[in-house]
Amino acid sequence: MSVALGTTRPLPVRTTPVGDPGDLLASLPRTAPYAWVRNGEGLVGWGQAARVAVPPGPGRFAWAREWLATVLGDAHADDAVGTPGAGPVAFGSFTFDEDAAGSVLVVPKAVLARRDGRAWLTTIGEAPLESFSPVRDPGRISYGDGSLSAPEWEHVVARAARRIREGELEKVVLARDLVATAERPIDVRLLLARLARRYPECYTFSVAGLVGATPELLIRRTGQEIESLVLAGTTPRGTGPADDIARGAALLASTKDRYEHECAIASVRQTLAPLCSSLETPDEPELLALPNVQHLASHVTGRLADGASVLDVVAAMHPTAAVGGTPTPTAIKVIRELEGMDRAGYAGPVGWIDANGDGEWGIALRSGLVQGRRARLFAGCGIMGDSDPAAELTEAQAKFRVMQYALEG
């Protein structure tokens, strides 16, 4: 098989089965690592066969699909693996705000993958020669305010809650950022290793400097089958087993959090129903316990009706109520007015797509944008009319701890 990656002649693409590679993340070189790993399975990539900055605007996902069609063509994986993720793969990150620059798609020159007991290596052109230098600790980490200080952000939360009580909208998700500065350049591979070890149930990702571990699966497409995991409603973990159980029970019984979750489910149901011949959503959420927080979670499954690619479904779903608000257009307007920062890729779609349109995309939560010695960390909270600004700040600080742990160990 060959694929035309913006070159004058097609480059050969080869996918071959390999033995168990062990820790996928340990295979990454220092330069530009790409990753999407959960419970030890997934894909990692390095090198760059093709890369594009996706132009901002309402048509950005359609533009991205056309670019992928041009780059990957009608290539079919000519290998003995025959599973989603085999053959050429593009990793991608899209900004939360469709009008913001910074969305990117990258086709690595090498992708190493493991899924369902099988492993394979895909290379494009000549196998890239990379320097596998030792992972280095970034040293002491110091923190500073991001776009807003904590008191300023609490004031924004109070303003948003007042607008909800006045009937302008039902819910809005407000994010804040925190700036971390290290003694030495931050090695993304160290962050990925720590995140994957501490949060194995999350999707640990790295795309063009955006690094994190998200618990929220926006969409998985395998043939015509799709799956989504909706999270909305959060409480910190308890100080001990009894407190932890009590906090989980209180979350399940919380009128505010249950309503927030129902808003998120309704948004996903409304978006996916036109694309699907069948769609199933649970009647009641369950608890998803992570090391730092507990979430209300619902698994949504369905079957596509028209053969849309995973990127088409991403385009239809983003932004969900879980990361924007309800009604979403009004919530986006309020976010732009009150939040006071550019979210970049935070809360935007992040993941991968193969030449057949299969793939997995999450929402880039619990993440940071890493460049040199600096990392910009993000966290967000769902604001309702009765939200307490101090409690929301505490929740945001709990969510920051994911990336703080990745930096500090």
Question: Is residue 226 left, alpha or beta, with left meaning phi > 0 and alpha meaning psi from -120 to 50?
Answer: beta
> How much of the chain is helix, strand and coil, in % rounded to 5?
30, 35, 35
Give me the phi and psi of 163, to 5 degrees please.
Answer: -65, -30
Go through 302-317 and write b for each residue having 16 or more CB atoms within 10 A of its CB, e for each that does not. Answer: bebeeebbbbbbbbeb
Catalytic residues: 171, 216
**Rounded CA separation 397/236 (Å):** 10
CA nearest neighbour of 81 among 356, 301, 382, 372: 356
The conformation of residue 146, written as its DSSP 8-state character, comes to -
Rg for the chain (alpha carbons), in Å?
Answer: 21
At 290, is the secondary structure helix, strand, or coil? coil
**Is 331 within 8 Å of 317 (Cβ atoms)?**
no
**Rounded CA separation 97/58 (Å):** 10
Who's near 20: CB < 8 A, 6+ residues apart? 114, 119
The conformation of residue 307, written as its DSSP 8-state character, comes to -
Tell me the two tokens of residue 399.
């969510």
Tell me the two tokens of residue 113.
């993958």
How many Cα neighbours within 13 Å face the side chain of 145? 9
